[in-house]
């Protein structure tokens, strides 16, 4: 990306990104995250230091997990560049597969991950009830006016 640099985020930066772009805890199919020390993150910044996107991920045994992914500049392939970098970092740590969780209403994310070689491996029917037990403010209607009900887990086998 012209004018952007990729940097490794410190726990303080991760905390700020989570504060600015999501709400805690972050609930995935595998676990719940609330401490920035539990993840690593990469951030794209422009020449003035503004965030253009970020990805956080975790690694345990041979499984990597994409925890958050925010591409803030449409049409610049920020999401693809971030996930490529996260996949490489996880591959370097010895991951043989990477998982990511999204919701039934997030059609753009589903298409994005499938285009990048991820396959749907599990649907947690009613998974959003588990999320709402921790985050009661999560709406019942999501993107495109769809009911926000289930958590979808995608996986990519990497070499």
Q: Which mean pLDDT values do the consecutive 10-residue runs of the chain (159 residues) have?
A: 80 91 92 95 88 94 96 85 96 97 97 98 97 96 97 95
DSSP codes joined into one string, the chain: -TT-EEEEPPHHHHHHHHHHH--SSEE-SS-EE--GGG-EEEEEE-TTS-EEEEEEEEEETTEEEEEEEEE-STTTTHHHHHHHHHHHHHHHHT-SEEEEEEETT-HHHHHHHHHTT-EEEEEETTHHHHHHHH-TT--SB-GGG-B---EEEEEEE--
The reported pLDDT for the residue numbered 92 is 96
pLDDT value of residue 2:
63
**Predicted pLDDT at 34:** 94
**Alpha-carbon dihedral 101, 106, 111, 112, rounded to 10 degrees:** -60
Q: Which domains does the chain have, with CATH numbers?
A: 5-157 (3.40.630.30)
């Amino acid at each position: 990306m012209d004018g952007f640099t990729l940097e490794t985020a410190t726990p303080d930066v991760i905390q700020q990104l989570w504060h600015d772009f999501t709400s805690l805890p972050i609930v995935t199919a595998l676990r719940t995250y609330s401490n920035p020390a539990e993840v690593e993150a990469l951030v794209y910044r422009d020449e003035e230091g503004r965030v253009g996107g970020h990805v956080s991920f975790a690694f345990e045994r041979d499984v990597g997990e994409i925890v958050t992914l925010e591409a803030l500049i449409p049409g610049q392939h920020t999401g693809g560049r971030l996930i490529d970098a996260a996949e490489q970092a996880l591959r370097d740590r010895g991951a043989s597969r990477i998982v990511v969780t999204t919701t039934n209403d997030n059609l753009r994310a589903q298409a994005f991950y499938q285009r990048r070689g991820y396959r749907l491996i599990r649907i947690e029917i009613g998974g959003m009830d588990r999320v709402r037990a921790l985050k009661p403010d999560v709406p019942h209607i999501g993107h495109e006016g769809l009911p926000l009900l289930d958590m979808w887990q995608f996986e990519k086998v990497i070499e």
